[in-house]
Amino acid sequence: MKFDAEKFRENLAARLRRQYGKDISQANRHDLFDAVSASVQEIIMPAWMATRSQYEKNPTKQVYYLSAEFLMGRALSNNLINLGIKDEVIEVLKGMNINFNLIEDEEPDAGLGNGGLGRLAACFLDSLATLDYPGHGYGIRYQYGMFEQRIENGYQVEHPDNWLKHRDPWEVKRSDLAVTVKFGGEIKYGKTPDGQDRFYIANAEEVIATPYDMPIVGFDTNTVNTLRLWQASSPDGFDLQLFNDMRYNEAVFKQNEAENVSRVLYPNDSGPQGKALRLKQQYFFCSASLQDLVHHFVNNYGTDFAKFPELHAIQLNDTHPVVAIPELMRILMDEYGMGWNDAWSIIEKTFAYTNHTILAEALEKWDIQIFQSLLPRIYQIVEEINRRFLIELRAKFPNDYERQNRMSIIHNGKIYMAWLAIYAGFSVNGVAALHTDLLKNVELKDWYELYPKKFNNKTNGITQRRWLCSSNPELSEFITKRIGHGWEKDLTLLKGLEKYVDDNESLEELIAIKRHNKDKLVEYLKHKQNEFLDPESIFDVQVKRLHEYKRQLLNVLHIMYLYNRLIKDPSFNPPPRTFIFGAKSASGYRRAKSIIKLINTVAERINNDRRVGGKLRVVFIENYRVSVAEKIFPAADVSEQISTAGKEASGTSNMKFMVNGALTLGTMDGANIEIFEEAGKENGFPFGLSTEEIQKMEEEHTYNPQQYLERNPALAEVVEQLIDGTYDPSHQIFKELHDSLVYGVEGQRPDVYYVLADFDLYAKAQEKVAEAYKDKMSWAKKALINIANSGKFSSDRTIEDYVRDIWKVKKVVVADEDIK
Ligand SMILES: *Cc1c(COP(=O)(O)O)cnc(C)c1O
């Protein structure tokens, strides 16, 4: 990318003049962020247009990644890095007396996702563009993204995330491509205007879907793909008649009703949902996306849909977009007059499904009533799909009525979205080796027996452009100095760093870089939260959504145990440690919220106890999100990945920690297993019960938490402290938490996630961490070995796996001459 500094400067000034009527000296930080971003967008635009026209010119298969979530974070720094002009732009700005870092911090996160699933979608888009694959995202332009979390009196309080308060400089509204999505109404059969007998819907509620496009800039390539997000609005707008009659609320009722569809992201991470508005959101973006694809196809190739699967691979990110399957059937049959069999043969070659969870409660199912009244024709199509499926199933298992009932897409008054995806699609993938094995052998065993060839594994990954180049420039330079460039597009090249694992100078430099990154995090927390951290201490970090299966509770109970030990035994002298947490809880998830309160209560207590003497500190980082994550991973020494074995599908923060040189303290779960495999177990701290051991206890009902309390008085003391007034004089706040561990509440088994069963093993692993940290050089060596062996965990590798086994798309290279 050629960069014209003079032109950039002129552009920037012109922007400020046009948009804000200001010159540089009058502009505030936000004006500057907006004008700089707009000037960068102008640089992106020609390549974006050229990419689109290349895709039009040589009709080749393209990937469409349908996802209810895209956790993009900020775009400015990432776009500059991928364009290869970050240093140049910083230089130009410096010349104008503008500090890039301050401008960068003005950008709100595009937080259109809950956690791992949404961030994976964002990493995939970056990798697709970087590897020159024609692949795009389709989702929802939520007006409010993931809520802003504030901690008040130790409790999580949710505030709306108004990320579009100012305009978004990256998006382009495409009103010309708006489509209509219909809800409710009655199914009719009869003559359409062109004289065909077809099904259609009468008296439906109509919502307009308008696309907003964001450029996805590849690294060191001309490819710029598209993330297309749909916004809902009313076709009727506001009612002037009612307004004139002073019925103001009624005048805007329809408008509000329609706009509510894309109003807000449901802040629920792998939990039950079942709300009608959520189903509306799902159908809204799936219908709009498929109409968009079909319109484009018909405009270019006419109505010979047999070619459709040759040009489209549609990946369904979890079950949220599965309603796209019957929607494509509806479009093909009701709008283009295809017969069932022809339409179905297209479906079977087009859709592939990714499963993201083994938690039974997270498998999405919809009440028939809700589904049918909202989407009557779609429901009718799902019924017919199921009727045909059951015929097939009965032929295979004629006398197995149990199985027929279990596997029916519709049963017990509900529609099982995962079943629909597995039956209709040609591929089902899990997101780490263990997870895929559990799908095949436990969770989706019936389905694996029926369609073994559909099942495959695609271990998740993360993009090194954001999680290393952009967030950890010093480590990036360290790497390049030793192995040269190239790793930015081929992370396996990091293996070349193994030459340096016994080179003291390299290890000293690595230690200095980690220290500097810790200093930067310390500075950030001083400003943001008035927290004072000791950068000499071990930064022991657990950042992820707050969920019982992720076991932040195990971490806190261990901290309480360490605290007791420190107070009782003055000779106990571990290396100083700072435990850092960051986590949002779903708004209605009471127990998760109690755990946040507990962390903050324990922090308050320990941080203000002089007897601790700086050996222990606990920090809860407010409002954990992508832009904060980028400051945390480079500063971490220890990566806490302590989920109950068998429960975390993959995890991706484990990978971000690894490439940034943190050592994994983790269970044999999800992708942790593959991390230990790549780095060697001796370069991390694996611990805990195995999936098999837990499965066994589960099946035989042999788990008794009481045993563990009796065996370990120090653990019993900690658990008792939840209710004995040590942390809470009312004895009430943590009672439910305590009882859930010891007795089980509301008909649940006690300690569902085996926190107490793993406590001893965790405490022992933590002692090893403390011991290992005393030898700084040997710790740094382990860190470097982790970095050198993190190549597998690039999302570039994941995308190549999807391309080879599922999508079968070819690269389309945009040449410099193609850009006008
Ligand atoms: C990577 C990431 C996650 C996923 O973390 P896990 O530990 O894998 O659950 C969640 N939120 C943010 C902001 C992330 O960057």
Q: Does position 185 have pLDDT exceeding 90, yes or no?
A: yes
Q: Give residue 771's pLDDT.
A: 98
Q: Catalytic residue among 228, 544, 558, 792, which?
A: 544
Q: What is the pLDDT of residues 461-510, one digit of tens each?
A: 999 999 999 999 999 999 999 999 999 999 999 999 999 999 999 999 99
Is 330 close to ligand 1, i.e. is its CB under 6 Å away?
Answer: no
Is 578 close to ligand 1, i.e. is its CB under 6 Å away?
Answer: no
Report yes or no on 414 lying in a domain.
Answer: yes
- Please check whether residue 140 is in contact with residue 262, taking contact to mean a CB–CB distance below 8 angstroms: yes
Same domain, 631 and 758: yes
Residue with tokens 């010119």: 57
Same domain, 172 and 297: yes
Q: Give residue 220's pLDDT.
A: 98
The preferred substitution site among 69, 70, 71 for testing ligand 1, maximizing ligand atoms within 8 Å of CB, is: 71
By alpha-carbon position, which residue is closest to atom 8 of ligand 1?
A: 651
CA of 545 to the centre of ligand 1 (A): 7
Same domain, 51 and 62: no
Q: What is the pLDDT of residues 337-358, one digit of tens each?
A: 999 999 999 999 999 999 999 8
Domain count, the chain: 3
Angle at 700 between CA 697 and CA 705, to 5 degrees: 45
> Could you tell me what percent of the chain has a pLDDT over 70?
99
Q: Give residue 354's pLDDT.
A: 98
pLDDT bracket for residue 360 (50, 70, 90)? confident
Q: 550 catalytic, yes or no?
A: yes
Residue with tokens 């991706």: 652
CA of 686 to the centre of ligand 1 (A): 20
Gap between the Cα atoms of 257 and 756, Å rounded: 48
Report yes or no on 750 lying in a domain.
Answer: yes
Report yes or no on 427 lying in a domain.
Answer: yes
Report yes or no on 40 lying in a domain.
Answer: yes
CA of 210 to the centre of ligand 1 (A): 30
Residue with tokens 């979890």: 318
What is the residue type of 313? A
CA of 202 to the centre of ligand 1 (A): 44
Residue with tokens 């016994």: 502
Q: Does position 408 have pLDDT exceeding 90, yes or no?
A: yes
Same domain, 50 and 62: no
Q: Which atom of ligand 1 is nearest to the CA of 641?
A: 7
pLDDT bracket for residue 648 (50, 70, 90)? very high
Q: For the residues 545-558, what does the mean pLDDT come to?
A: 98
Q: 356 catalytic, yes or no?
A: yes
Same domain, 376 and 293: yes
Residue 739, classed as helix, strand or coil, is: helix
Q: Catalytic residue among 320, 551, 617, 656, which?
A: 656
Residue 408, classed as helix, strand or coil, is: coil
Same domain, 571 and 594: yes
Q: What is the pLDDT of residues 62-117, one digit of tens each?
A: 999 999 999 999 999 999 999 999 999 999 999 999 999 999 999 999 999 999 99
Same domain, 611 and 626: yes
Same domain, 292 and 233: yes
Q: Catalytic residue among 254, 365, 518, 550, which?
A: 550
Q: For the residues 189-217, what does the mean pLDDT come to?
A: 93
**What is the helix (H) or strand (E) element at residue 221, kind and residue range?**
none
Is 466 close to ligand 1, i.e. is its CB under 6 Å away?
Answer: no
CATH of the domain at 234: 3.40.50.2000
pTM: 0.98
By alpha-carbon position, which residue is closest to atom 11 of ligand 1?
A: 115
Q: Does position 242 have pLDDT exceeding 90, yes or no?
A: no
Q: Give residue 194's pLDDT.
A: 76
| Structural domain range at position 702 | 525-783
> Could you tell me what percent of the chain has a pLDDT over 90?
94
- Within 13 Å, how many C-alpha atoms sit on residue 141's CB side? 23
Could you say which DSSP state residue 576 is in?
P
**What is the helix (H) or strand (E) element at residue 396, kind and residue range?**
helix 376-396
The torsion of the CA quartet 276, 282, 285, 291, rounded to 10 degrees, works out to: -100
Same domain, 610 and 724: yes
Return phi, psi of residue 4, to 5°. Answer: -105, 100
Q: Does position 272 have pLDDT exceeding 80, yes or no?
A: no
Q: Give residue 271's pLDDT.
A: 67
Q: For the residues 410-437, what does the mean pLDDT come to?
A: 98
Report yes or no on 506 lying in a domain.
Answer: no
Report yes or no on 562 lying in a domain.
Answer: yes
Please give the mean pLDDT across all residues of the chain: 96
Q: Does position 452 have pLDDT exceeding 90, yes or no?
A: yes
Q: For the residues 163-187, what does the mean pLDDT come to?
A: 97
Is 651 close to ligand 1, i.e. is its CB under 6 Å away?
Answer: yes
Q: For the residues 29-39, what does the mean pLDDT come to?
A: 97
The Cβ of residue 802 has, within 10 Å, a number of other Cβ atoms equal to: 27
Report yes or no on 237 lying in a domain.
Answer: yes
Q: For the residues 227-254, what does the mean pLDDT come to?
A: 90
Q: Does position 239 have pLDDT exceeding 90, yes or no?
A: no
Q: Give residue 274's pLDDT.
A: 66
Q: Does position 270 have pLDDT exceeding 70, yes or no?
A: no
Same domain, 225 and 123: yes
Same domain, 113 and 217: yes
Is 115 close to ligand 1, i.e. is its CB under 6 Å away?
Answer: yes
Q: What is the pLDDT of residues 671-729, one digit of tens each?
A: 999 999 999 999 999 999 999 999 999 999 999 999 999 999 999 999 999 999 999 99
Is 119 close to ligand 1, i.e. is its CB under 6 Å away?
Answer: yes
Considering only 63-67, 175-179, 266-270, which range has the smallest mean pLDDT? 266-270
Q: Catalytic residue among 545, 597, 647, 792, which?
A: 545
Return phi, psi of residue 207, to 5°. Answer: -125, 135
Report yes or no on 507 lying in a domain.
Answer: no
Is 659 close to ligand 1, i.e. is its CB under 6 Å away?
Answer: no
**What is the helix (H) or strand (E) element at residue 99, kind and residue range?**
none
Is 653 close to ligand 1, i.e. is its CB under 6 Å away?
Answer: yes
Tokens encoding 13:
């000034």
Q: Give residue 1's pLDDT.
A: 63
Same domain, 140 and 262: yes
The preferred substitution site among 74, 117, 640, 653 for testing ligand 1, maximizing ligand atoms within 8 Å of CB, is: 653
Is 120 close to ligand 1, i.e. is its CB under 6 Å away?
Answer: no
CA of 788 to the centre of ligand 1 (A): 22
Gap between the Cα atoms of 799 and 790, Å rounded: 16
What does each C-alpha distance from 226 to 51, 137, 206, 498, 717 come to in angstroms? 10, 7, 26, 38, 55
pLDDT bracket for residue 664 (50, 70, 90)? very high
Is 141 close to ligand 1, i.e. is its CB under 6 Å away?
Answer: no
Residue 627, classed as helix, strand or coil, is: helix
